[in-house]
A = this chain, B = another copy of it.
């Protein structure tokens, strides 16, 4: 049972104001579920967009695991998304899609929409901090997404740069190394506790962002605070407010 007390946001003191804010992207900055459902509805209205989006995303961790285990060599998320998609299409009655249609659909991940607070929040956060991505998405995907969704990154960093997927420490520590700062001057911002846990184990500060609708309105996500995070925010604007008071 989740008590009222346990749901109270935690306010651990920020030890040092972070120089760099590194953002998880899928689910934290952009609404992958809603964006995929919307596009599928337009392209293939008879397909269950909710189930399709969830199945596509569910293939993500196992696909990365095939790279981590060495079964696949280094592979970009674009290519992993495509492997999963090709497996998925027959299950949803879309086995007939031709190559151009598959390429186009796979690029939906480049066209994901930002959560409503994201652009304003990033603009605020950018005034006091260096803001960058730290995503398993590849550089091209993240750049196209930023251009389309007007995400004002100072720098795009990706698993592709570090040749390792999160939660490999090389990714979290890679951000600190890139900006030549100690890990505690970097804060990971994410809507996923496991990502934050891994960052914290590397010495980063952590901020949890509530994205209760990440998996769609039919699958509301538990966004309870963890006492281990440095900050807990309802959205990016709330995070900016907390950091400016820190």
Contacts and interface: CB of A to CB of B under 8 A. Distances in A.
How many of these chains are in the complex? 2
Interface in A96-113: none
A179 B78 CA distance: 11
A139 B78 contact: no
A139 B158 CA distance: 12
B140 A179 contact: yes
Given A139-B178, A178-B140, A146 B156 contact: no
A132 interface: yes
A156 B161 CA distance: 11
A147 B154 contact: yes
Nearest to A160: B178
**Which among A132, A140, A179 has the greatest number of chain B C-beta atoms within 10 A?**
A140
Interface residues on A, range: 20 to 34
A222 interface: no
A180 interface: yes
A75 interface: no
Contact of A180 (B78, B142, B161, B178): B78
A130 interface: yes
A160 B139 CA distance: 14
Contact of A130 (B78, B147, B155, B157): B147
A139 B156 CA distance: 10
Interface string A59-100: 000000000000000000010000000000000000000000
Contact of A143 (B140, B144, B146, B155): B155
B130 A180 contact: no
A160 B179 CA distance: 12
Given A140-B178, A161-B161, 18 more contacts: A78-B180, A130-B143, A130-B144, A132-B143, A138-B178, A139-B155, A139-B157, A139-B161, A139-B178, A140-B179, A142-B155, A143-B155, A143-B178, A143-B179, A146-B155, A147-B154, A156-B156, A160-B178
